[in-house]
Amino acid sequence: MLGPGDLVEDFELPDQQGRPWRLSQALASGPVVVFFYPAAMTFGCTREACAFRDLGAEFAALGATRVGISADPVDKQRQFTERHGFDYPLLADPERRVAKAFGVVSGFKLGPVKRASFVIGPDRRVLAAFSAELRFSSHPERALEVLRRAQAAAP
């Protein structure tokens, strides 16, 4: 799994509308929080994704973009977004190409990818990475802590 200081390769995946979403374009406006989740519309993934949604104003205040990624296809990502009113992109990675690059492909039956989050700075360097399969809503709070510390440390 990528860790602090690692350089993230630029990537492009389709969002829930089938439109291309590119990491480097999002980073042009500030840090990006990428969270991987095992499967759309499951209990834990719904709780996690809703927590990222509910804290949207706090992420925006820190200039951060949120984006979720799973191996689900575009159609399922769209259904998930419509059902829960997500205000951020959900990306489809059915071949798990990006999940492999981040080192979060799962070998267990809990899902095709591990539940993991990455806070990425505008220079494409990982500021923080964490994984917690069963602590569904801890990732957004932890990401906000990292962003606040980074903002406080900036000149």
Catalytic residue among 23, 26, 27, 45: 45
DSSP structure string for 19-86: -EEEHHHHHTTS-EEEEE-S-TTSHHHHHHHHHHHHTHHHHHHTT-EEEEEESS-HHHHHHHHHHHT-
45 is catalytic: yes
30 bridge partner residues: none
Q: Which residue has the tokens 């350089």?
A: 7
Cα three-residue angle 89-84-16, rounded to 5 degrees: 30
Sorted by sequence, the CB contacts under 8 Å of residue 50 that are 6+ apart come out as 84, 137
Active site residues: 45
